[in-house]
Amino acid sequence: MPVGVVGTGGMGGMHARILHHKVAGARVAAVSDVDTERAGKVAEECGSAAIFADAGEMIRDDAVEAVVIASPDPTHAELTLECLRLGKPVLCEKPLATSPEEALGVVEAEVERGEKLVQVGFMRRYDPQHVDVRNTATSGDIGQPVLFKGWHRNAASPPGADSGWVVINSAIHDLDSARWMLDGEIEEVFVRGLDTTGSPDGEFDLQLIQFSVSGGRLGIIEVYVDAGYGYEVGVEVVGTRGTAYTAPPTGAVIRLERAYSQGVEDDWLERFEPAYTIQLQGWIEALNNGQLNGPDAWDGYAALVAAEACIASIRSGNPKTVSQPERPALYSREAPEVVR
Ligand SMILES: NC(=O)c1ccc[n+]([C@@H]2O[C@H](COP(=O)([O-])OP(=O)(O)OC[C@H]3O[C@@H](n4cnc5c(N)ncnc54)[C@H](O)[C@@H]3O)[C@@H](O)[C@H]2O)c1
C-alpha cells in the first residue's frame, strides 16, 4: 500500500519510519511538510519517497493511495475532507478537528460517501495493556464495569499551551479511552483545575475531570501536563466484582539502599512506540482486507464534543451536559472490534 505522510515532525517522522521499517505491506510513497528540508531527511530515511511542500498536492497525487496526517491540529479536518473527497483512506492524528462543528463536518462528509475511510490516531486502543484492560472489562469477568479512572501526566507542556490545549490535546486521549473502555458515551462533565507553575496566563496544567457515562457509569481523569518527573499514562476499570488496571510498562524494578525504583518514560514516543507500530500494522492490514476497524470519525467527533464540554466546565465552574446527535448507522457498534 503506497502511503503519503503529511507532517514530518515528531509524530509524522515516527509514523513514516515505522511504515518503512516495520509494517508489512506498506511503502512510504511520499512525504509532505512546509519545511521541505525536514521532509527531505525523512524521505531519505524511507527509501525513495517523493517530497511535497503542499499537503493537498501530495494527497491528490495518483501515486498516493492512503494518507497519514501528522501535521498541526488546525490542518486535520481540511486535509481529511480532501482525502474523503478523493476516496482515499486516511489515518488522522488526534484531534480530528479543532472544534466539534468541524469534526461533525468530517462525519457528515463520510456518511454522505457511505463508506468508512477515516481512522483517528487514538493509539491507546492498540497498547497491549490497554487492550487487556478493555477486553477484561467487556468480558464480564470483573462484573459490570461501573467506574473508569485515568491518569495522564506529561513531564512538561509545550510553550503556549493553555487550559483548553490541555483538554483538546492531552485529555482527549483519556476521554476516548473512557468511551472505549466503558463502551458508552460521556453524558456530563465537571472539571476543576490548578495552575501548578504560576504561568502568566493562569493555565490549568493540572485538571481533574469527573464525568458520567451512559448506562449510569462514572469516570474520573487526572491530566497533568507539567508533572516534571516524566511521562505516565494509566487506566483502571472498576467492575462490580473486581478491577483491571495497567501497570508501569518498562524496566526492571531495582532494590537498592532500602528502596525500590523503576524507570519512567520521557514521553509518548517512548511509552507508546509499540502501540504506534501495532496501530499502523492494523491499519494497513484493514485497508488490504477492505474494512477499517479502528477508532473512527465518530470517535474523533464524540471525544471532541466531550472535550468542548470540559473546557466550558473549567471556564464556568459548573457541570456541563455533553450533547451530540444520534450516531449515524455507518458507525454502528456492530462493526468488528479492534483486536491485537
Ligand atoms: N497520538 C499521539 O500520541 C500524539 C502525540 C503527539 C502529537 N500528536 C498529534 O500529532 C500531530 C503532530 O504533532 P507533532 O508532535 O509531530 O508536531 P511537530 O511540530 O513535531 O510536527 C508537525 C510538522 O508538521 C509540519 N507542518 C506544519 N504545517 C503543515 C502543513 N500545512 N502541511 C504539512 N506539514 C505541515 C511542521 O513543519 C512540522 O514538521 C498533532 O496534531 C498532535 O496533536 C499525537
CATH at residue 163: 3.30.360.10
In a domain, 302, yes or no: yes
86 shares its domain with 214: no
Tell whether pTM > 0.85: yes
The C-alpha atoms of residue 151 and residue 153 are separated, in whole angstroms, by 7
Q: How confident is the model at residue 81 (pLDDT cuts 50, 70, 90)?
A: very high
CA 162 remoteness from chain centre:
19
The domain boundary residue, chosen from 79, 94, 123: 123
Q: What is the DSSP letter of 231?
A: B
Mean of per-residue pLDDT scores for the chain: 94
Using a pLDDT cut of 90, give the percent of the chain over it: 89
In a domain, 211, yes or no: yes
252 shares its domain with 155: yes
So what's the pLDDT on residue 335? Answer: 41
116 shares its domain with 171: no
What percent of the chain is helix, strand and coil (3-state, nearest 5)? 40, 25, 35
Cα 165 to Cα 102, 171, 329, distances in angstroms: 17, 9, 31
Q: How far is the CA of 191 from the centre of ligand 1 (A)?
A: 27
Q: How confident is the model at residue 202 (pLDDT cuts 50, 70, 90)?
A: confident
The domain boundary residue, chosen from 123, 143, 177: 123
The C-alpha atoms of residue 294 and residue 269 are separated, in whole angstroms, by 20
In a domain, 336, yes or no: no
Domain residue limits at 271: 127-331
In a domain, 339, yes or no: no
So what's the pLDDT on residue 336? Answer: 38
Q: How far is the CA of 68 from the centre of ligand 1 (A)?
A: 11
Q: How confident is the model at residue 290 (pLDDT cuts 50, 70, 90)?
A: confident
The C-alpha atoms of residue 278 and residue 38 are separated, in whole angstroms, by 25
Residue 268 makes CB contacts below 8 A (sequence gap 6+) with 231, 233
The domain boundary residue, chosen from 123, 151, 178: 123
Q: Max Cα separation, the chain?
A: 64
Which atom in ligand 1 lies closest to the alpha carbon of residue 8?
A: 39
So what's the pLDDT on residue 248? Answer: 83
75 shares its domain with 147: no
95 shares its domain with 159: no
So what's the pLDDT on residue 334? Answer: 58
93 shares its domain with 168: no
Q: How far is the CA of 35 from the centre of ligand 1 (A)?
A: 12
Angle in degrees, 0-180, between the axes of helices 297-316 and 172-182, rounded to the nearest 10: 120
Residue 93 pLDDT > 80, yes or no? Answer: yes
13 shares its domain with 37: yes
The per-residue pLDDT for range 35-73, each reduced to its tens digit, is 999 999 999 999 889 999 999 999 999 999 999 999 999
The per-residue pLDDT for range 235-267, each reduced to its tens digit, is 999 999 999 999 987 789 999 999 999 999 999
CATH number of the domain where residue 37 is located: 3.40.50.720
- Residue bearing the bigger pLDDT, 159 or 212: 212
133 shares its domain with 274: yes
243 shares its domain with 108: no
Q: How far is the CA of 70 from the centre of ligand 1 (A)?
A: 5
Least confident of 4-13, 49-58, 112-121, 330-339: 330-339
Angle in degrees, 0-180, between the axes of helices 273-289 and 128-139, rounded to the nearest 10: 70
158 shares its domain with 105: no
Least confident of 16-20, 46-50, 132-136, 207-211: 46-50
43 shares its domain with 75: yes
Alpha helix stretches (DSSP H) within 191-272: 268-271
Domain count, the chain: 2
Residue 25 pLDDT > 70, yes or no? Answer: yes
Measured from CB, residues less than 6 Å from any atom of ligand 1 are 6-12, 32-35, 38, 55, 70-73, 75, 93-94, 121, 123, 169, 268
Q: What is the mean pLDDT of residues 156-174?
A: 93
